[in-house]
Amino acid sequence: MSAEDWVADVNFVLSECVRFQQEVDRIGLSAWLKNASRSDAMAHLPHPSGKGSLLCGIEAIRRLEQLSNVAIRNSDALGTLTIDRVYQALRTLIVHRFIRDQRPLNVQQVQKALAAAVREAKRARYDATHFIPCRLASTSEPDQFSIGPVVFRSRAAFFARIRPQVDALAERGKATETIETNDWVRIESYYGAFDWIGEVRIRNCDPDISEERARQAVTAAIDILQVVFGASYTERMAVGGPTMANDRRVHMQLGRDDELQLSWSWRATSPVALPDLRDLLANSEVAFLLGSGGQAIEAIIDPALDRPISRRLVDAASWYGQAVREEFDAARIVKAVTALERLLMTEDVADIASTLSARGAALAWRPTSRFDFDEWKGRLKKAYGLRSQLVHGSLSPFDQEVHLRSDWCVWLSQEVLRAAFGAWRAVSGLDRRVLDSDLSTWFGQLVKNASQGKMNE
């Protein structure tokens, strides 16, 4: 959108206010409401007098929301404010500037209105610490560990950590004579249903974005655990959800002679026990990979950090984690391979399947690997082909090959992701801004070396 488009949108909004008011004046409010769509009837702006409202129609609201998005994207607040928070400020500012104060409708005045809306919305930003319940492992040893800025505590350790704040809240309630509620009971009722709680502090965001980023960060930490430890031990790792101890189901069918046949199934909702979690976390390779993941998560908790490779890793790990947790085989393949696409794609790629399979093979290959570079590339190209067939409709999601290849695609994705976590940390790609063109050049050298049987230097 150009600046002139912004002016046109504001002009449309103001014109709609006039049009709707003239229509109401002509036939009366009751008659207008009877014939109006529900969307138009619910769409209004604050009245310039400060009392009541102005009908404006749903299309005017949509344009103001789009202008709010423009305002954020042209500010230093991108990633820290919701569009709705800016919209709430802008809808009042538009009325005040152009109806109440009768300012000229031009590019300069509209730009000032957009900037003022962002400034108003910024007042809601602050640093906040969030506590996100998780399903990780049945063990409680160690009772605390960290993946970068995310701290995981066992249930007992979490209750010990949060109790002073809960007690302080209760004391403030007594002092102000507010209605007393048993917050501790509610905390125990929900958080107590989970073995682990993730804690993370989000910097300088409004409340909605802060909570969203907190969930992203804790989920990213779980996704990284799934990359490092593999799908078999981690498929039931998850953030939050219902406080259900297990999943019990019954299936009925009528067999021969209409005889009723019943079968029962039982599945735990919590993860299986990770063998020797304390020892796993102390393993040097695991510690290095988790350290890489933790470094990548820093780009989530601090919106001011511009780290494209960290964002790639977090996004790719998210797709992989979704693949691990997914029950539908076709969706597992699509998500696992999309993780690789998010990890390996750059703007200059033309032949996507060949380029991405070569890049993934170059990352996964080692002189000690069970497959050589060409074998890795062939396997990755096969996985990408399956994903393409599923997405474009040439392969049924219920085909037996889909079932046979599902775990295989998840494993391939894990191997490439693990290699990327190590490689990009080794070349200091996680703590700085790396241009897309520089990444493409790096991939090119990596592929060249791997194809010649040499490790990247």
Same domain, 325 and 455: yes
pLDDT of residue 275: 62
Candidates 323, 229, 241, 356; CA nearest to 281 is: 229
Quick check: is 287 in a domain? no
Same domain, 136 and 93: no
CA distance 405 to 274: 25
Q: How many CB atoms lie within 10 A of CB 37?
A: 10
Quick check: is 166 in a domain? yes
CA distance 453 to 138: 43
Same domain, 60 and 190: no
**Letter for the amino acid at 143?**
D
Same domain, 327 and 457: yes
Domain boundary among 69, 87, 122: 122
**Residue 117 belongs to what domain range?**
3-122
What are the mean pLDDT values of the chain's consecutive 10-residue runs (457 residues total)? 91 94 91 90 91 92 96 94 96 95 95 96 95 84 91 92 83 59 76 90 95 95 92 82 73 84 73 70 90 93 92 95 94 97 91 93 88 93 95 94 95 95 85 90 92 71
CA distance 416 to 376: 10
Domain boundary among 244, 265, 286: 265
Quick check: is 294 in a domain? no
Candidates 141, 137, 140; CA nearest to 273 is: 137
Quick check: is 280 in a domain? no
pLDDT of residue 263: 83
pLDDT of residue 189: 84
Same domain, 134 and 238: yes
Q: How many CA atoms lie within 13 A of 177 on its CB side?
A: 0
Helix, strand or coil, per DSSP, at residue 228: helix
**Using N-to-C axis directions, what is the helix angle for 329-344 and 400-426, rounded to 10°?**
30
Candidates 130, 291, 310, 304; CA nearest to 202 is: 130
Quick check: is 181 in a domain? yes
Same domain, 206 and 319: no
User: And the tokens for 184?
Assistant: 């501790």
Same domain, 113 and 22: yes
The reported pTM is: 0.87
pLDDT of residue 272: 59
CB 455 within 8 A of CB 367: yes
145 contacts: CB under 8 Å, gap ≥ 6: 151, 152, 281
Report angle CA 214, 215, 219 to the nearest 5 degrees: 120
CA distance 135 to 306: 31
| Domains identified in the chain, total number | 3
Quick check: is 228 in a domain? yes
Q: Which residue is it, tokens 């601090």? A: 302
Domain boundary among 215, 242, 265: 265
Same domain, 327 and 442: yes
Q: State the Cα torsion 157-159-161-166 to the nearest 10°.
A: 180
pLDDT of residue 267: 66
pLDDT of residue 366: 86
Same domain, 331 and 442: yes
pLDDT of residue 179: 46
Quick check: is 356 in a domain? yes
Same domain, 427 and 316: yes
Report angle CA 376, 381, 387 to the nearest 5 degrees: 130
Strands 260-268 and 44-46: unpaired
pLDDT of residue 231: 85
Same domain, 319 and 410: yes
Same domain, 177 and 54: no
Report angle CA 443, 448, 339 to the nearest 5 degrees: 35
Quick check: is 25 in a domain? yes
Strands 126-135 and 144-147: unpaired
